[in-house]
Amino acid sequence: MLLTGPEGLKALTTAYETNRALPGFVAYNLETVQGIAAAAEAHPGHPVLIQAGSSPFKHAGRAPLMRLALDMAAASPATLGVHLDHSRDLDEITACLEAGYTSVMIDGSHLPFGENIALTREAVRRARDHGAWVEAELGALPGDEDVSTNAAANPAAMTDPAQAAEFVAETGVDALAVAVGNVHGLTTEPVRLDLDRLSAIHSATRVPLVLHGASGLPGNQLRAALTRGVAKINVNAELRRAYLRAVSARLPAALPGSDVVSVWAAGRDAVTEAACRIIAQLT
């Protein structure tokens, strides 16, 4: 079942009010979309977001991946939303809203504060016309969304609680992605969140917060974040790694007969298994 925007926003606010979180899983192709949907189907009643966003569009093409994610969500018995992740393009946001996305993320974190506000405000206006909810980002998250990294968080780039309060008030955004020590991709050293900063942002904004770079986050850090306003977590690298390891393990047996189907199936099933582990942590 594909969530509408209002249904998706209700799921987000319910997670926020109950110290849970919606998992947002990044999808790149048919097998990752199928794997995410299967994980959601294994956890009935727990909403899941398929994040068919700007970075995967570069690989699969916007229209094919967008349609694939929406059709899969509509056909599945699970509760699924489709989310545009990390978009910097208002035209792209409009295209996804018109197609039926549940929610969109406008990423103006690279812009000066005032320009980020202006860009986000316009994205919110467009989303309201389609009944969708909006996530924005304030602060600079190190690392690469598509490749694991050794990057460390720069304290100077972390989200400022006072700025966050002003940003939310000026934009009317529904959810705010924050930089509190989290890093895109898996890192060689364990990530340690600045939980005091996260608490301060939570108190200052009183909107659901989003934690990007949740792959590999220690369980105690994740649980602490859920009690400090985090109501959506983004997971990408854990699924990528699970997919690639499964494909690599299957290849030696598959190559003599050119058995691509078993390779794709192994990758898909590994994505499902990894996503199931993460969903279980959030319930």
Active site members? 85
CA nearest 14: which of 47, 58, 49, 42?
A: 47
d(CA 115, CA 82): 27
Alpha helices in 76-194 (DSSP H): 90-99, 113-130, 161-171
103 bridge partner residues = 83, 133
Which helix (H) or strand (E) segment is 136 a member of? Answer: strand 133-138
Query: Coil, strand or helix: which one is 93?
Result: helix
Backbone φ, ψ for residue 276 (5° rounding) = -60, -40
Q: Residue 243 corresponds to which amino acid?
A: Y
Q: Which residues contact 236 (CB under 8 A, 6 or more apart)?
A: 25, 26, 51, 145, 146, 184, 185, 215
Q: Are 85 and 66 in contact (CB under 8 A)?
A: no
> 137: which 2 tokens?
């980002």
Distances (CA, A) of 272 to 33, 52, 94, 242: 10, 16, 30, 9
Rg, C-alpha atoms of the chain: 18
180 HSE (CA, 13 A, CB side): 29
